[in-house]
Amino acid sequence: MTFAAILLAANGCGSDTPAGSGEPTPNEFDAARRAARIETTGCGLAPDRTGSGVAVGDGLVITVAHLVARADAIEVTVGNGEAVEAAVTAVDLNLDLAALRIPSNGIPDIELSDAARGATGLIVGGAASGTVAFEVKDVVSLSIEEVLGSARHSRSGYELRSVTTTGDSGAGVYDPEHRLIGIVFATGRDGESTWITSSAEVEGFLAETGGDRTPIACNAESSRLELP
């Protein structure tokens, strides 16, 4: 897969299937078939965890870094498929994003989009909540602590009016045309707010990391992933 093929579309602009091609365009590929359930075995003393992800292309899944940053072994189930082993090939602790490589599954490159205040759509494939509706409360610049650290970093994202919970982090957030506008990373204490990392940050992460780096390995002494 080449990440140049991942498109960032202007909000409200879709693409049509070429006449006679018989093949779905990326935004027509059912978001539910991209939904990934992620099960981790803890690295060292870290606990096992369950979370969510998005299959963004053939054999490539993205999720939140905080789900896999302390994982020894990872299994991923995409759509209605079988659970397969996954390797973490890239992590950005500032953006809280990670790329997982799984066996080839023929899933086409995803199409990305942005959103404006008041836009609606669906959060699809949350490991805890399944599929839920959302409305964009605001377009925001998020300041959060890096994963496994204390330094603060800013990134673009959205605050959504939507009910999600623990286990939904990593789920894909889609507009009505099935284009990805972001990835869930946090839920508000009021149970009615969800924060997501924007598709622009996702696109930049994929472009910089690629999907074929040396897998990152568990260091049992530190209970976290490190470069081998």
Q: Give the helix ranges, DSSP H, for the chain.
A: 31-34, 65-68, 199-209
Q: Coil, helix or strand for 197?
A: strand
68 Cβ partners below 8 Å, 6+ apart? 38, 40, 74, 88, 91, 98, 100, 225
Tell me the pLDDT of the chain averaged across its residues.
Answer: 84
The label of the residue with tokens 């779905």 reads: 24
- Please provide residue 183's backbone torsions phi and psi, each rounded to the nearest 5 degrees: -125, 130
> In the predicted model, is pLDDT for residue 137 greater than 60?
yes
Greater confidence, 136 or 188? 136
- pLDDT the model gives residue 51: 95
The bridge status of strand 111-113 relative to strand 7-9 is parallel
The label of the residue with tokens 């981790």 reads: 40
- pLDDT the model gives residue 9: 43
> In the predicted model, is pLDDT for residue 24 greater than 60?
yes
Distances (CA, A) of 97 to 70, 100, 120: 14, 10, 24
Confidence of residue 4 (pLDDT cuts 50, 70, 90): very low
What are the residue boundaries of the structural domains of the chain, listed by start?
Answer: 111-198
Digit-coded pLDDT (tens) for 97-131: 999 999 999 999 999 999 999 999 999 999 999 99
Q: What is the 3-state secondary structure (H, E, C) of 46-58?
A: CCCEEEEEEEEEC
pTM for the model stands at 0.84
For a pLDDT cut of 90, what percent of the chain falls above it? 57
Please state, in angstroms and rounded to a whole number, the distance separating the CA atoms of residues 110 and 53.
Answer: 13
Q: What's the mean pLDDT in 149-178?
A: 87
Q: What's the mean pLDDT in 192-216?
A: 84
Please state, in angstroms and rounded to a whole number, the distance separating the CA atoms of residues 5 and 145.
Answer: 31
Contact status, residue 119 vs residue 11, Cβ threshold 8 Å: yes
> In the predicted model, is pLDDT for residue 1 greater than 60?
no
Digit-coded pLDDT (tens) for 45-104: 888 999 999 999 999 999 999 899 888 999 999 999 999 999 999 888 888 899 999 999
Confidence of residue 3 (pLDDT cuts 50, 70, 90): very low
Handedness of CA 198, 199, 202, 207 (dihedral sign): negative
Please state, in angstroms and rounded to a whole number, the distance separating the CA atoms of residues 146 and 8.
Answer: 26
Q: Under CATH, to which class is 111-198 assigned?
A: mainly beta
The label of the residue with tokens 């622009």 reads: 200
Q: What's the mean pLDDT in 163-186?
A: 94
Please state, in angstroms and rounded to a whole number, the distance separating the CA atoms of residues 207 and 177.
Answer: 23
Greater confidence, 157 or 188? 157
